[in-house]
């Protein structure tokens, strides 16, 4: 009997080109090459009903978990340390703990500076696909050669059950509208990636009673659109999620599903369900990574090499307590061997200038790497960041903010709470948590 084109594709291997050194895309590479996941993407644009990124234990191995979040220069420092180890690193991956496309500035800058130093490495990322289409050109230009999209169903009704909310272009979607949006955006991302010859893996979380009956349809669809590999991942029931009471699929169920999809697409059979800060051979992460990660995360929050100062919006010179748009002066601080020193006071550009005000402010603070404020609007945040000035929103002691930037200390307890929901709130998608 003559095989269909889909069956022929499923029975063929991915080849032994660049995939041969990527442990997630080639089973033989698993034994030879190490991968590093950089936890540089804390924000997410969806709320999956099986995911709770607040939980972290060093013994946990699942997506959405990381012991620290790195800024781009910290990520480079971390990679430098790992490259000095005995690991045979071939891949730099970005898989969260949120979604990379909800953190594009940090993700793209990290890839850029690390690729410049280590051009021999492969670069990949995992995404839900929602915000991938508008960034395809950047993904290609940065040399991100391997992409994973998590597609849990091709039925919008099923997707409406899987996602609590979806945030797209500053609007929150729920229910069937969210499911339809996810389906449309994921299919568009898949199409655009394959048009540009990106190697593409599909992850599907198996949720018993929710989506297992449609996994074969996912395989058919993504294979027909050119996906190279499909990975069925069993649900890891997590506390304080809508799906915490679902039962994890059995090994027999997983084996049956992988057999079903193998008719259409090459299945991945060696997934280790990795953390967002994994480092080492697949399934054999090195323990030293936690220490190295902590060291890199303790570097200054923003690079101070060329911009050594920090600006502060304050009423009395003791607390960070003025809004970016309302302050008329900025106090300038620097770090010395004896501690922090106040070195200057600068006038803010006058109000009523529109966006030109933020351009002028960036020039006024051109030797500052960041500005500490009690609040800021989305537009000035974006504009100042694009001009190299980071806006840190907090309430509390100036010294705590200086410690965060200069020494990498946590701002927990000082962060601005922008949305005050009731005790029973399950998440609005508007930025809480």
**Domain spans of the chain?**
5-297, 309-407
Distance CA 103, CA 99 (A): 7
pLDDT-flagged residues of the chain (< 50): 1-17, 55-62, 270, 417-433
SS3 for 232-297 is: EEECCCCCCCCCCCCCCCCHHHHHHHHHHHCCCCCECCCCCCCCCCCEEECCEECCCHHHHHHHHH
Residue 49: its pLDDT value, please? 87
- pTM of structure: 0.68
Residue 5: its pLDDT value, please? 40
Distance CA 34, CA 227 (A): 24
Domains 5-297 and 309-407 share a fold: no
- Evaluate whether 45 touches 425 at the Cβ level (below 8 Å): no
CA distances from 408 to 18, 53, 155, 297 (A): 37, 21, 44, 6
> What's phi and psi for 347, nearest 5 deg?
-75, 140
Distance CA 12, CA 339 (A): 63
Distance CA 392, CA 371 (A): 6
- Evaluate whether 402 touches 310 at the Cβ level (below 8 Å): yes
Contacts of residue 212, defined as CB under 8 A and 6 or more positions apart, other chains included, come to: 206, 249, 253, 257
- Evaluate whether 237 touches 51 at the Cβ level (below 8 Å): no
Place of tokens 């009395």: 316
Sign of CA dihedral 172, 177, 179, 181: negative
Number of Cβ atoms within 10 Å of the Cβ of 337: 4
- Evaluate whether 232 touches 260 at the Cβ level (below 8 Å): no
Residue 170: its pLDDT value, please? 84
Number of Cβ atoms within 10 Å of the Cβ of 332: 18
Tell me the sheet residues that pair with 370: 310, 390
Candidates 3.40.50.280, 3.20.20.70, 3.30.70.20, 3.40.50.970; CATH matching 5-297: 3.20.20.70
- Evaluate whether 401 touches 392 at the Cβ level (below 8 Å): yes
Distance CA 405, CA 252 (A): 50
Distance CA 184, CA 206 (A): 21
Quote the tokens at residue 169: 């272009």
User: Could you say which DSSP state residue 316 is in?
Assistant: S
Contacts of residue 402, defined as CB under 8 A and 6 or more positions apart, other chains included, come to: 310, 333, 335, 340, 372
Nearest alpha carbon to residue 245 among 1, 96, 5, 49: 49
The class of domain 309-407 in CATH terms is alpha beta
């Amino acid at each position: 009997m003559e095989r269909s084109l889909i069956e022929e594709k499923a029975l063929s291997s991915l080849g032994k080109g660049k995939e041969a050194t990527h442990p997630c895309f080639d089973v033989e590479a698993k034994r030879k090459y190490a991968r590093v996941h950089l936890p540089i993407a804390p924000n997410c644009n969806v709320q999956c009903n099986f995911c709770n990124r607040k939980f972290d234990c060093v013994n946990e191995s699942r997506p959405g978990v990381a012991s620290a979040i790195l800024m781009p220069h910290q990520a480079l420092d971390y990679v430098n340390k790992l490259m000095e180890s005995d690991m045979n690193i071939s891949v730099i991956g970005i898989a969260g703990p949120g979604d990379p496309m909800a953190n594009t500035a940090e993700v793209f800058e990290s890839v850029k500076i690390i690729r410049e130093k280590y051009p021999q490495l492969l670069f990949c990322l995992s995404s839900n696909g929602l915000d991938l289409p508008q960034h395809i050109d950047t993904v290609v230009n940065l040399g991100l050669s391997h992409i994973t999209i998590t597609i849990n169903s091709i039925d919008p009704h099923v997707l409406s059950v899987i996602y609590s909310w979806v945030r797209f272009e500053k609007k929150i979607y729920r229910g069937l509208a969210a499911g339809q949006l996810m389906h449309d955006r994921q299919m568009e991302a898949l199409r655009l990636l394959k048009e540009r010859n990106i190697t593409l893996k599909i992850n599907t979380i198996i949720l018993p009673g929710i989506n297992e009956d449609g996994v074969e349809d996912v395989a058919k669809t993504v294979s027909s659109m050119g996906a190279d590999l499909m990975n069925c991942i069993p649900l890891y029931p997590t506390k304080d999620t809508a799906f915490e009471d679902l039962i994890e699929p059995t090994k027999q169920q997983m084996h049956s599903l992988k057999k079903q999809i193998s008719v259409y697409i090459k299945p991945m059979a060696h997934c280790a369900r990795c953390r967002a800060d994994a480092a080492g051979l697949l399934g054999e992460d090195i323990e030293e990574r936690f220490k190295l990660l902590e060291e890199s995360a303790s570097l200054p929050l923003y690079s101070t090499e060329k911009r050594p100062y920090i600006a502060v919006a304050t009423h009395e010179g003791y607390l960070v307590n003025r809004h970016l748009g309302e302050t008329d002066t900025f106090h300038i601080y620097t770090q010395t061997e004896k501690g922090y020193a106040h070195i200057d006071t600068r006038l803010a550009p006058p109000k009523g200038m529109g966006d030109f005000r933020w351009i002028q402010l960036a020039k006024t603070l051109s030797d500052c790497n960041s500005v500490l404020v009690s609040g800021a609007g989305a537009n000035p945040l974006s504009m100042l960041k694009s001009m190299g000035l980071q806006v840190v929103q907090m309430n509390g002691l100036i010294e705590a903010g200086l410690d965060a930037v200069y020494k990498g200390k946590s701002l927990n307890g000082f962060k601005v709470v922008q949305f005050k929901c009731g005790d029973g709130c399950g998440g609005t998608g508007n930025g809480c948590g």
